Amino acid sequence: MTTPRAEEENNYSRSDGSGSLSIAKLAGNVFISLLTGVEKWSVWNWVPCGLVFALGTVALLLQPDGQLTQFIGVYAAFLVPLAATFWRAQYGVGWHRGLRAGASWASVGVAVIGLTLMQDLRMHGEVDVTGSTKVTQTTPVGDGAELAVVVHSETARQNLRLTMSVAEGAAGAQSCLPDTTFDVGLTGQAPAGGNRSLVPGATAQLKLGGNWSGERSITVTVHTQRGCLMDFSVGRAVLHG
C-alpha cells in the first residue's frame, strides 16, 4: 500500500524528470537552430554572417601598414565567406540541413583563418620604409667610398631588402655604370657573401638581428673605375619577417 507521502514524492519525481527533459529538449532545439537556421528571416540564420562580419572588422582594425598586395589573401578570406553566409541566410532556407550548417560554419572557419593571417602579417608582414631610408652623404662619390644609409622604422622586423639606385655622376663625360658594383652590410659588420659585388638594380638581403625598430645604419661600399663618380640613392627599402 502506497502512503500519501510516498505517492507525493513519486509524483514530484515524475514532474521533475519531465521538466528536465523539456529543458534539455529546448536547449537542443536552440542549438540545432543556431547551427542550421529555422526560417528565411530568422535571427539564427544571420548569426554566421554576423560572426564573419565581426571577424572581418577586427582584422581591418588590426591591419598594419605595408604593401596592399600582401593583404589580398586576407581580404578574400573575409569577402568570400561573407558573401557565402549572406547568400545562405537569404536564399539557402530550402537547402538540406547538413549543407546549411556546413556552408555557414565552414565560412566562419575561413574567416577565423583570415584573422589569424592578418595577425601574422601584423607581426611579420612587409613594411615599405623607402621614404624613411636616406643616404646621409652627398653624392656623387668615387671608387672605395663608403656611404651610410640610415633606415628608420617604428615597426619591428627582422630582415631588410635594400635596392640601391645608381647613376652616372657626370653624365655625358663618363660611362662607368657597367663597371660599377657595391657591397652592402650592417655598419660595423662585414657584408655577407650574397651582398658583395652587387650590380646596379640588385637587391641586398640583410638580417637585422632579432626584432628591430628605430634607426639602423647600413654601409654601402662603392667599387668603380678609377676617376669615375657615381650617384647613389635608395631605390627601395622593405622590412619583413
Domain boundaries, the chain: 37-124, 127-240
- Does 36 or 84 have the greater pLDDT score? 84
CATH 2.60.40 fits 127-240, yes or no: yes
- 224 falls in which pLDDT band (50, 70, 90)? very high
213-227 average pLDDT score: 91
Reduced to 3 states (helix: H, G, I; strand: E, B; else coil), residue 21 is: helix
- 212 falls in which pLDDT band (50, 70, 90)? confident
pLDDT in tens, 155-186: 888 899 999 999 998 877 888 999 999 999 99
Contact 159, 147 (CB under 8 A): no
Phi, psi of 102 (to 5 degrees): -65, -45
pLDDT in tens, 133-158: 999 988 899 999 999 999 998 888 88
- 39 falls in which pLDDT band (50, 70, 90)? very low
CA-to-CA dists, residue 3 to 6, 12, 113, 157, angstroms: 5, 14, 64, 81
How many residues appear in the chain?
A: 241
115-125 average pLDDT score: 82
Q: Which residues contact 125 (CB under 8 A, 6 or more apart)?
A: 64, 66, 70, 240
21-49 average pLDDT score: 60
The structure's pTM equals 0.60
Cell matching residue 7? 505517492
Give the N- to C-terminal CA distance of the chain in Å, as an integer.
82
Which range (58-62, 66-70, 172-176) has the least confidence? 66-70
Torsion, Cα 165 168 169 175, to 10 degrees, reads 150
Q: What is the pLDDT of residue 187?
A: 93
CA-to-CA dists, residue 33 to 37, 38, 43, 81, 141, angstroms: 5, 6, 10, 20, 74
* Dist CA 12 CA 9 (whole Å): 5
Using only C-alpha atoms, what is the Rg of the chain? 32
